[in-house]
């Protein structure tokens, strides 16, 4: 019998393929919501079976507001994912959320709009409201934090992820507002992904890589460039891969 899947990894910007993944096969899954961003890749990572799905598609062509989050989550559950590790590129709002650092958020605020964001809207026997007090699975978060400590890896152990609509970056005033709301990092894909995982009862954790200072933060008056984002991401993702490996070892 093939070993069951220990983890599904949703890759974000900069993580459209997973280095070190020994590919076993690919699964093209149709869902009631249409196709996911890409075929699911089943593979072995650090001796364990995992699934991998690049959120923005294989060629990184699907912008945040056009991702079929429902299809992605549905397909992962259908393929047997027991839990989800979501990698995400973010902007840093507070001083500790500095470029290249990893942040394990424990809260989220949703500023997105117009995205299909629930599985519970049609053919219902009754209205469903899932609990979302702790949007990220506390046990999986603890697991990641312990894995990081064992590696002496520098991670920020708390954070509030502000999920914005994109695809443009924010204005400085929008970031000021997010900061007043208590957001420490900002990204475009955190929601409805986390909420949909909860609706499917899939434990979900986010590991965010800070790609840039959010608009109006940091010392520089210069515009945020894709080159800066890519350079910081590639450094941060090296640490994310180490953390992922340690996390899989402990599952
Ligand atoms: N804002 C929103 N999303 C992002 C950013 C940002 O500054 N950087 C990377 N993803």
- CA distances in angstroms from 62 to 12, 140, 222, listed in the order given: 11, 28, 27
User: How many A from CA of 153 to the centre of ligand 1?
Assistant: 23
> Which atom belonging to ligand 1 lies closest to the Cα atom of 212?
8
Q: Is 212 a member of any domain?
A: yes
Alpha helix (H) residue ranges in the chain? 69-78, 138-150, 172-181, 193-199, 226-250
| Burial class, 131, CB count within 10 angstroms (exposed 0-12 / middle 13-18 / buried 19+) | exposed
User: How many A from CA of 209 to the centre of ligand 1?
Assistant: 10
Count of domains forming the chain: 1
pLDDT interval class at 2 (50, 70, 90): low
Q: What is the pLDDT of residues 163-206, one digit of tens each?
A: 999 999 999 999 999 999 999 999 999 999 999 999 999 999 99
User: Which residue has a Cα nearest atom 9 of ligand 1?
Assistant: 90
**Among residues 142, 96, 43, 98, which one has the least CA distance to residue 235?**
98
Q: Is 128 a member of any domain?
A: no
Element (H, E) at 45: strand 40-45
Q: What is the pLDDT of residues 63-92, one digit of tens each?
A: 999 999 999 999 999 999 999 999 999 999
User: How many A from CA of 187 to the centre of ligand 1?
Assistant: 5
Q: Is 125 a member of any domain?
A: no
Q: What is the pLDDT of residues 191-244, one digit of tens each?
A: 999 999 999 999 999 999 999 999 999 888 888 999 999 999 999 999 999 999
Does the predicted TM-score (pTM) go above 0.85?
Answer: yes
Please report, for the chain, how many H helices and E strands are present, in that order: 5, 11
CATH label of the domain that carries residue 171: 3.40.50.1580
Q: Is 124 a member of any domain?
A: no
Q: Reply yes or no on whether the pLDDT at 123 is more than 90.
A: no
Q: Which domain holds residue 19?
A: 5-117+133-250
Q: Is 90 in the pocket of ligand 1 (CB under 6 A)?
A: yes
Neighbouring C-beta atoms of residue 183, cutoff 10 Å: 28
**Among residues 199, 192, 69, which one has the least CA distance to residue 124?**
199
Q: What does the DSSP 8-state code read for residue 77? A: H
Separation CA 86–CA 12 (nearest Å): 8
Q: Is 127 a member of any domain?
A: no
Q: Is 89 in the pocket of ligand 1 (CB under 6 A)?
A: yes
> Which atom belonging to ligand 1 lies closest to the Cα atom of 92?
7
Strand partners, 84: 8, 204
Q: Is 223 a member of any domain?
A: yes
Separation CA 236–CA 42 (nearest Å): 24
3-state secondary structure 150-215: HCCCCEECCCEEEECCCCCCCCHHHHHHHHHHCCCEEECCCCCHHHHHHHCCCCEEEEEEEEEECC
User: How many A from CA of 79 to the centre of ligand 1?
Assistant: 30
Q: Is 122 a member of any domain?
A: no
Q: Mapping DSSP to helix (H, G, I), strand (E, B) and coil, where does residue 26 land? A: strand
């Amino acid at each position: 019998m093939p070993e069951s899947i220990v983890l599904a990894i949703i890759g974000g910007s900069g993580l459209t393929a997973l280095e070190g993944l020994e590919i076993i096969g690919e699964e093209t899954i149709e869902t009631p919501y249409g196709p996911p961003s890409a075929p699911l890749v089943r593979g072995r990572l650090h001796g364990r079976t995992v699934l991998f799905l690049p959120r923005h598609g294989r060629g990184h062509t699907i912008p945040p507001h056009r991702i079929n989050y429902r299809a992605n989550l549905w397909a992962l559950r259908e393929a047997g994912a027991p839990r989800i590790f979501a990698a995400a590129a973010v902007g840093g709002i507070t001083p500790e959320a500095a470029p290249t650092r990893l942040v394990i958020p424990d809260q989220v605020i949703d500023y997105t709009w117009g995205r299909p964001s629930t599985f519970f809207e049609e053919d219902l026997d009754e209205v469903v409201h899932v609990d979302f007090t702790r949007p990220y699975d506390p046990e999986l978060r603890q697991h990641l934090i312990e894995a990081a400590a064992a590696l002496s890896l520098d991670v920020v152990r708390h954070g509030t992820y502000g999920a914005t609509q994109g695809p443009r970056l924010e204005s400085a005033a929008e970031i000021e507002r997010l900061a007043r709301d208590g957001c420490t990092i900002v990204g475009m894909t955190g929601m409805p992904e986390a909420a949909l995982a909860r609706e499917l009862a899939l434990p979900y954790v986010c590991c965010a890589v800070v790609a840039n200072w959010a608009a109006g933060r940091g010392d520089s008056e210069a515009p945020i460039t894709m080159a800066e984002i890519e350079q910081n991401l590639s450094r941060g993702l090296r640490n994310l891969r180490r953390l992922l490996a340690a996390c899989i070892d402990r599952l």
